[in-house]
């Protein structure tokens, strides 16, 4: 599989890593370098605020629903222990440092940029670009951070430990303000670890190899050499972390060694072997042939089967293997007794054609894949209704609170509960007639226990059927937690639109399962309605068609330059769409390819705030009624509004629920949200969307990006168009960037293909 780099964008709150530059022009330089190395290890810099968030849909659920930062992270730690012992996680915000200058100041600034979300993660294989091209930073792949950054902020670190690490950092010319981050990354004895191996500084978020080299030179003096084993191991692990940021669960060995050579590691093969020997990474050999050729009795042993050698970090390797085991268990276990075959057939006969096919597939199989656009969720709702009628405890889980609330409306048509399990209800079961528990939750809430049916005595979900919506957003770790949490005999349906952007975290679970063909696949025949649905459907098959829009459902606004693009965007949101379409500004979302640049989210949010809610920004840059994008944890976003600020922090309302962001977390986790990237917006929909395509955004465009961005609009779509033929070319020719994963091979070793 090719490992050509994912496109990237600059980081926002929750972004796991950051690079040394805020200039989007450097992104393409890195992409070119990675292409030469045949390794897509560019970090997913835009994961930051693109995740479990919702629009301002009304919610009657308890406030605990959006406080997932603690509950979800606790659940993740518990589940990861069930999968395998994981290495100690690390990362925390860096405290403000003393006044510094020179190299130390540069290093501190780079790390602060990571924590604040102002700059992208250190792009793997990035080298200084003497003549960067003028392009907007391409849209990235978001990902959940390996550690619970929000939870880390509350951990009390012994002052003497911080002082000891700070002293070592100062000795090496690094700012002592990095001490908390080093302690979070390295744990107890971090000061001694840094003395013994200065390149361990690379474990601190935002530190780049050249900066770690400078620290090592100061600490080791003449003993510091490029061929030092410690340097080779540290750079190898760093490159694998960057690959994970780009969505890979592993890297081809040749790609990794080529990348090490680019980083001035004299003997890349030796560096990889040393890393494996120390247990910092794992090696895998996946057979390239599906099965060895049959041998006649007495014949000499044939040549060894060709294999693909992959190198990966332990945490993702364990998650991917656990996911394969869990899915194989679901597919191979006998579904629980849940009514007669006649009952399932009767339910299918009363449903629409696509829903009937889905119901019949679920009746006879433990795992079913269901593909389709937003309208196809009606079929998943029909399935839950049928399951309830047969006595099953069925639940659906969406990627965002907004998706949960929207699906709840669909299920209400079948007299299902009108909200998640922790919402207000006279009957705690969600069924006033005493029937089986059925409801809708978010994936994060389901895993944390804040939503859903709870768990049985064995720790498994207390349900018989789980329908996971927005399945393309599942990374390997989240998917592994879900699979491990299913009880024996439960049915699992993964439902989603394969055309949208992939998950924030490593892996491409839904796409891998579709490609592996190890279980039934049901393709919805329900088209998304209206001109927008017609346009998006065409994009999905590589065609950018003109559509009839008598009600101005789709409007193209040509622009010549960045200044005009910003002006037209503000005009559309504040005036044209409300006046001509009747959709107010608060129900219109702007989507653009990147955070930086003249028409990135930062520039657009500044212009939109000035027009829609001008103010001095007295609460750390925010005013009451500002629209914000809040990232409670890396890779998750909630879209909401500022309410007030007090001694407790910044008060927000997100998806109808109150949220209080501590003062020390505001800079890292809250940004203005009138304009988002497509990765941030995936899983969300608004009555109106304004998609901005400035002239320098051409390199950022792919078919999945356009498909995702256009599909965020429900009733009206305006396209601020300045890329000329690049849009049509992207739709027709540029698919999703591939990711290197092991899931298909792992599944085929356990489950025969469905054919």
pLDDT of residue 19: 38
The pLDDT of residue 158 is above 60: yes
The pLDDT of residue 1 is above 70: no
The pLDDT of residue 144 is above 50: no
Question: Which residue(s) pair with 716 in the sheet?
Answer: 688
> What rounded mean pLDDT belongs to the chain?
81
Q: Label residue 751 by pLDDT band (50, 70, 90).
A: confident
Q: Label residue 181 by pLDDT band (50, 70, 90).
A: confident
Alpha-carbon distance of 405 to 408, in angstroms, equals: 5
Alpha-carbon distance of 271 to 285, in angstroms, equals: 19
Alpha-carbon distance of 577 to 570, in angstroms, equals: 10
449 CB neighbour count, 10 Å cutoff: 18
The dihedral formed by the CA atoms of 69, 71, 73 and 75, expressed in degrees to the nearest 10:
-160
395 CB neighbour count, 10 Å cutoff: 27
pLDDT of residue 641: 96
Predicted TM-score of the model (pTM) = 0.78
pLDDT of residue 670: 95
Q: Label residue 112 by pLDDT band (50, 70, 90).
A: low
pLDDT of residue 286: 86
Set out the domains of the chain in order of their start, with CATH numbers. Answer: 26-50+91-267 (no CATH), 318-503 (3.40.50.300), 525-594+677-723 (3.40.50.300)
Question: Which residue(s) pair with 628 in the sheet?
Answer: 640, 672
SS (H, E, C) 623-655: CCCCEEEEEEECCEEEEEEEEEEECCEEEEEEC
The pLDDT of residue 379 is above 80: yes
Mean pLDDT, residues 464-473: 96
The pLDDT of residue 329 is above 80: yes
- In this predicted model, what pLDDT tens digit does every residue of 569-625 receive, in sequence order? 999 999 999 999 999 999 999 999 999 999 999 999 999 999 999 999 989 899 999
529 CB neighbour count, 10 Å cutoff: 12
pLDDT of residue 296: 56
Question: Which range, 76-80, 318-322, 398-402, is most confident?
Answer: 318-322
pLDDT of residue 752: 72
Alpha-carbon distance of 662 to 153, in angstroms, equals: 10
E strand or H helix at 95: none
pLDDT of residue 498: 97
pLDDT of residue 84: 53
Q: Label residue 412 by pLDDT band (50, 70, 90).
A: confident
Q: Label residue 66 by pLDDT band (50, 70, 90).
A: very low
Mean pLDDT, residues 321-350: 88
Alpha-carbon distance of 357 to 386, in angstroms, equals: 12
Long-range contacts of 187-195 (CB under 8 A, 24+ apart): 187/88, 187/90, 188/161, 190/161, 190/165, 191/161, 191/164, 191/165, 191/167, 194/165, 194/168, 194/169, 194/219, 195/168, 195/219
pLDDT of residue 212: 94
Least confident interval from 284-288, 404-408, 695-699: 284-288
The pLDDT of residue 495 is above 80: yes
Q: Are 639 and 654 in contact (CB under 8 A)?
A: yes
- In this predicted model, what pLDDT tens digit does every residue of 312-328 receive, in sequence order? 999 999 999 999 999 99
Question: Which residue(s) pair with 367 in the sheet?
Answer: 492
């Amino acid at each position: 599989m090719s490992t050509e780099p994912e496109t990237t964008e600059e980081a926002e709150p929750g972004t796991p890593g950051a690079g040394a530059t805020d200039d989007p022009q450097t992104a393409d330089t890195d992409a070119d370098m990675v292409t030469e190395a045949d390794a897509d290890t560019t970090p997913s810099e835009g994961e930051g605020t693109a995740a479990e968030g919702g629009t301002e849909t009304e919610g009657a659920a308890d406030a605990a629903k959006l406080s997932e930062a603690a509950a979800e992270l606790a659940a993740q730690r518990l589940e990861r222990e069930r999968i395998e012992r994981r290495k100690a996680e690390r990362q925390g915000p860096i405290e403000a440092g003393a006044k510094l200058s020179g190299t130390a100041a540069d290093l501190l600034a780079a790390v602060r940029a990571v924590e604040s979300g102002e700059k992208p993660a250190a792009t793997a294989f990035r080298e200084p670009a003497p003549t960067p091209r003028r392009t907007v930073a391409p849209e990235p792949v978001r990902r959940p951070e390996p550690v619970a950054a929000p939870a880390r902020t509350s951990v009390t670190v012994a002052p003497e430990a911080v002082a000891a690490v700070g002293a070592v950092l100062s000795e090496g010319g690094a700012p002592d303000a990095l001490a908390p981050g080093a302690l979070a990354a390295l744990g107890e004895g971090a000061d001694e670890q840094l003395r013994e191996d200065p390149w361990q500084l690379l474990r601190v978020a935002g530190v780049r190899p050249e900066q770690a080299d400078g620290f090592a030179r100061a600490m080791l003096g003449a003993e510091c050499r490029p061929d030092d084993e410690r340097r080779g191991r540290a750079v190898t692990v760093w490159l694998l972390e960057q690959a994970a940021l780009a969505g890979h669960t592993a890297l081809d060995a040749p790609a990794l060694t080529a990348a090490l050579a680019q980083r001035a590691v004299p003997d890349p093969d030796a560096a990889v072997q040393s890393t494996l020997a120390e247990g910092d990474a794992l090696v895998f050999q996946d057979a390239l042939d599906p099965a060895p050729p049959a041998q006649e009795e007495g014949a000499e042993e044939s040549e060894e089967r060709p294999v693909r050698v992959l190198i990966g970090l332990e945490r993702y390797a364990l998650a991917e293997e656990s996911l394969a085991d869990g899915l194989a268990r679901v597919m191979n276990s006998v579904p629980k007794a849940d009514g007669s075959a006649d009952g399932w057939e009767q339910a299918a006969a009363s449903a629409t054609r696509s829903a009937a096919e889905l119901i019949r597939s679920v009746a006879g199989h433990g795992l079913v894949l269901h593909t389709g656009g937003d309208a196809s969720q009606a079929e998943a709702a029909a399935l839950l209704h049928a399951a309830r009628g047969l006595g099953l405890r069925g639940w659906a889980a969406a990627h965002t609170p907004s998706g949960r609330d929207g699906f709840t409306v669909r299920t209400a048509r079948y007299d299902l509960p009108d909200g998640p399990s922790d919402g207000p209800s006279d009957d705690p079961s969600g069924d006033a007639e005493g029937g089986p528990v059925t409801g809708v939750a978010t994936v994060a809430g389901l895993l944390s226990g804040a939503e859903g049916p709870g768990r049985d005595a064995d720790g498994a979900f207390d349900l018989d059927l789980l329908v996971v919506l927005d399945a393309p957003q599942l990374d390997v770790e989240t998917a592994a937690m879900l699979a491990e949490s299913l009880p024996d005999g439960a049915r699992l349906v993964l439902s989603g639109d394969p055309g949208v952007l992939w998950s924030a975290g490593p892996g491409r679970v839904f796409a891998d399962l579709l490609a592996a063909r190890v279980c039934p696949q049901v393709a919805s025949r329900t088209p998304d309605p209206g001109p927008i649905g017609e346009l998006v459907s065409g994009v999905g098959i590589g065609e950018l068609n003109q559509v009839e829009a008598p009600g101005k459902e789709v409007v193209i606004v040509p622009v010549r330059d960045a200044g005009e693009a910003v002006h037209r965007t503000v005009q559309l949101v504040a005036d044209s769409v409300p006046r001509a379409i009747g959709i107010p500004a608060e129900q219109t979302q702007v989507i653009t390819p990147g955070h930086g640049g003249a028409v990135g989210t930062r520039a657009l949010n500044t212009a939109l705030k000035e027009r829609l809610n001008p103010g001095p920004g007295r609460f750390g840059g925010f005013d009451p009624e500002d629209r914000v994008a809040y990232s409670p944890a890396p890779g998750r976003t909630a879209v909401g509004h500022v309410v007030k600020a007090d001694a407790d922090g910044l008060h927000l309302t997100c998806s109808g629920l109150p949220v209080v962001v501590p003062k020390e977390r505001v800079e890292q986790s809250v940004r203005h949200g009138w304009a988002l990237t497509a990765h941030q917006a995936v899983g969300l929909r608004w009555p109106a969307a304004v998609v901005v395509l400035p002239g320098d955004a051409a390199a950022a465009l792919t078919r999945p990006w356009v498909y995702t961005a256009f599909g965020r609009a429900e009733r009206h779509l305006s396209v601020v168009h300045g890329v000329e033929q690049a849009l049509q070319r992207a739709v027709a020719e540029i698919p999703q960037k591939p990711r290197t994963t092991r899931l298909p091979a792992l599944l085929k070793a356990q489950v025969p293909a469905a054919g």
